[in-house]
């Protein structure tokens, strides 16, 4: 389809947002700072309530045609460019968007997109549409105890028995698995080819016999991610996503969506520059030249990140898959989150480590303890730098010593 005029489209988006959301409020004092947690520390009932709140907005967005903006129309998307998606995020940031969770983001921005792109027409109708509308929730069953940065080394196996696949293995760090209906799982289906070539993707029902989810308690208090054990789990062939052996392509596309969602999305994660400024004001520190310097540095970095998100979006081709440049925005987002926590901690000193009851102070501990997680999730800072070096700057690649079939690699 021909692309709508960007300015007219923006106006239309703004009008729609104004009809469903309240305008964003800038915190005037530390007490008014919104939720400062990077990862929620909620009871199961509270988490379910939060998920329901998020779903109301996601459904409205889907029904208005503003979900999956960059997916091609024949894959169930709006067929627009990354620049439209960035414009939507920018317009959205002027409103009070309901707080989101990792699971909503994984369902809509990762699994929904991947199943739309790689699934059959039937899978798109039955699952992708439901994920994009958050009627069904899906987690990402990729990482394993021995396969994080080196994801292609995964050992979870799937063997075909007639019209079914039998899956055995273990996944870890699976965000939201305890609330998910399905999981997009990567499994090794052929150990006798190079490691990337022998992987297949499946959509696993999380209530299938043999799936066991064990929440992991994090240092910030909550348990937003899990270990998932799979013992003889039977999945029908109709839940295979893509061809046998196409799993690595599904994985890399999903991870590129993840970097874009983490780096470019405006889902609130922890404190923002506006929250730090409100904190400095409430502590009476805004006249201190050193504090002003730190605040200015944070402001400039936040502005640079926003400009980079915009630039990457403008240079990305239309067609649904973000390029390696998304690593730049992911890296800048996790760096900004860390620095935001550091400036808040410097402002507060010991007050951040003890709950004195003073509003808007100890809450920053939730930010500080959660921020390191974002330097790992969706590919670590070091891996983003490798991707930028090799695929954006075209520097010589790291030495690869694992070009033989997976079964011949040491330890297999
Ligand atoms: C908050 C959070 C949520 C997550 N959610 C999910 C989820 O929902 N689903 C899922 O599948 N996974 C999830 N993960 C897992 C995440 O993708 C992995 O933690 C990440 O890919 C790193 O893998 P690892 O933890 O095994 O670390 P490792 O790969 O063991 O890395 C250890 C260290 O070595 C460095 N390193 C490794 N290889 C290289 C290299 N080649 N060059 C330079 N440095 C290197 C890393 O940067 C890191 O510092 C989540 C993680 C976090 C923290």
Using CA atoms in the order 110, 112, 115, 121, what is the torsion angle rounded to 10 degrees?
-160
pLDDT for 32: 58
Contact 88, 17 (CB under 8 A): no
139-245 and 269-392 in the same fold? no
| pLDDT at 167 (0 to 100) | 98
Substitution candidate for ligand 1 out of 173, 213, 402 with most atoms within 8 A of CB: 173
Q: Does the CA dihedral 73-78-82-84 come out positive or negative?
A: positive
**What's the pLDDT tens digit per position in 313-360?**
777 655 556 778 889 999 999 999 999 999 999 999 888 888 877 777
Choose which CATH entry (3.40.50.2300, 2.40.110.10, 3.50.50.60, 3.40.50.720) describes domain 139-245.
2.40.110.10
The pLDDT assigned to 267 comes to: 59
Give 148 Cα–ligand 1 centroid separation in angstroms: 5
Q: Is 0.85 surpassed by the pTM of this model?
A: yes
Q: In 3D, which of 219, 233, 226 has the Cα closest to residue 187? A: 233
Q: What is the pLDDT of residue 269?
A: 80
How, if at all, do strands 182-188 and 138-141 pair?
Answer: parallel
What is the pLDDT at residue 164? 98
Task: Determine the distance separating the centroid of ligand 1 and the alpha carbon of 132, expressed in angstroms.
Answer: 26
The total number of residues written for the chain in this structure? 412
Give the up-direction half-sphere exposure of residue 310: CA atoms within 13 A in the CB hemisphere. 9
- As assigned by CATH, the class of the 22-137 domain is mainly alpha
Any ligand 1 atom below 6 A from CB of 327: no
Measuring from atom 1 of ligand 1, which residue has the nearest CA? 373
d(CA 209, CA 217): 25
Task: Answer for the pair 202, 235: CB distance below 8 angstroms, yes or no.
Answer: yes
Q: Which residue ranges of the chain lie beneath pLDDT 70?
A: 1, 29-34, 262-268, 316-321
Can you tell me the distance from the alpha carbon of 196 to that of 6, in angstroms, rounded to the nearest whole number?
A: 39
- Among 148, 156, 228, residue to substitute to test ligand 1 (most atoms within 8 Å of Cβ): 148
* Residue numbers annotated as active site: 258
Domain segments of the chain as ranges: 22-137, 139-245, 269-392
Is ligand 1 within 6 A of the CB of residue 183?
no
**What is the distance between the alpha carbons of residues 216 and 291, in angstroms, rounded to a whole number?**
37
Q: What are phi and psi of 190, to 5 degrees?
A: -145, 105
Using CA atoms, how far residue 127 sits from 58, 170, 187, in Å, is 16, 24, 20
Q: Does ligand 1 have an atom closer than 6 angstroms to the CB of 148?
A: yes
Architecture of domain 269-392: Up-down Bundle (1.20)
* Ligand 1 center–CA 372 separation, angstroms: 12
């Amino acid at each position: 389809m021909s692309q709508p005029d960007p300015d007219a489209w923006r106006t239309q988006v703004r009008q729609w947002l104004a009809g469903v959301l309240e305008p964003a409020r800038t915190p005037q004092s530390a007490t008014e700072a919104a939720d400062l947690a990077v990862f929620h520390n909620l009871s199961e009932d509270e988490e379910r309530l939060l998920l329901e709140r998020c779903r109301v907005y996601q459904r409205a967005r889907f029904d208005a045609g503003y979900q999956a903006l960059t997916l091609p129309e024949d894959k169930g998307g709006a067929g627009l460019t990354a620049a439209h998606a960035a414009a939507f995020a920018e317009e959205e940031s002027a409103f009070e968007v309901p707080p989101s969770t990792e699971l909503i983001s994984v369902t809509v921005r990762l699994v929904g997109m991947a199943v739309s792109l790689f699934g059959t027409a039937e899978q798109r109708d039955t699952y992708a549409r439901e994920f994009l509308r958050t009627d069904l929730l899906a987690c990402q069953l990729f990482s394993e105890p021995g396969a994080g940065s080196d994801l292609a080394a995964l050992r979870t196996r799937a063997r075909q028995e007639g019209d079914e696949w039998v899956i055995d293995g273990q996944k870890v760090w699976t965000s939201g698995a305890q609330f998910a209906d399905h999981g997009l799982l990567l499994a090794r289906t052929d150990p006798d080819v190079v490691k990337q070539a022998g992987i297949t993707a499946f959509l696993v029902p999380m209530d299938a016999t043999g799936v066991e989810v064990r929440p992991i308690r994090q240092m910030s208090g909550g348990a937003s991610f899990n270990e998932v054990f799979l013992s003889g789990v039977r999945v029908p062939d109709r839940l295979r996503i893509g061809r046998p052996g196409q799993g690595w392509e599904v994985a890399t596309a999903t991870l590129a969506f993840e970097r874009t969602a983490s780096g470019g999305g405006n889902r609130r994660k922890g404190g923002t520059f506006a929250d730090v400024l409100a904190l400095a004001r409430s502590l009476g520190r805004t006249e201190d030249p050193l504090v002003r310097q730190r605040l200015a540095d944070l402001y400039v970095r936040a502005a640079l990140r926003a400009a980079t998100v915009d630039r990457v979006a403008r240079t990305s081709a239309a067609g649904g898959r973000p390029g390696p440049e998304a690593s730049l925005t992911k890296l800048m987002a996790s760096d900004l989150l860390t620095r935001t926590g550091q400036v808040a901690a410097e402002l507060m000193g010991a007050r951040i480590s003890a709950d004195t009851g003073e509003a808007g102070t100890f809450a920053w501990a939730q930010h500080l303890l959660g921020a390191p997680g974002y330097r790992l999730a969706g590919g670590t800072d070091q891996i983003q730098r490798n991707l930028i070096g090799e695929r954006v700057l075209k520097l010589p690649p790291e030495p690869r010593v694992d070009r033989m079939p997976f079964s011949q690699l040491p330890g297999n």
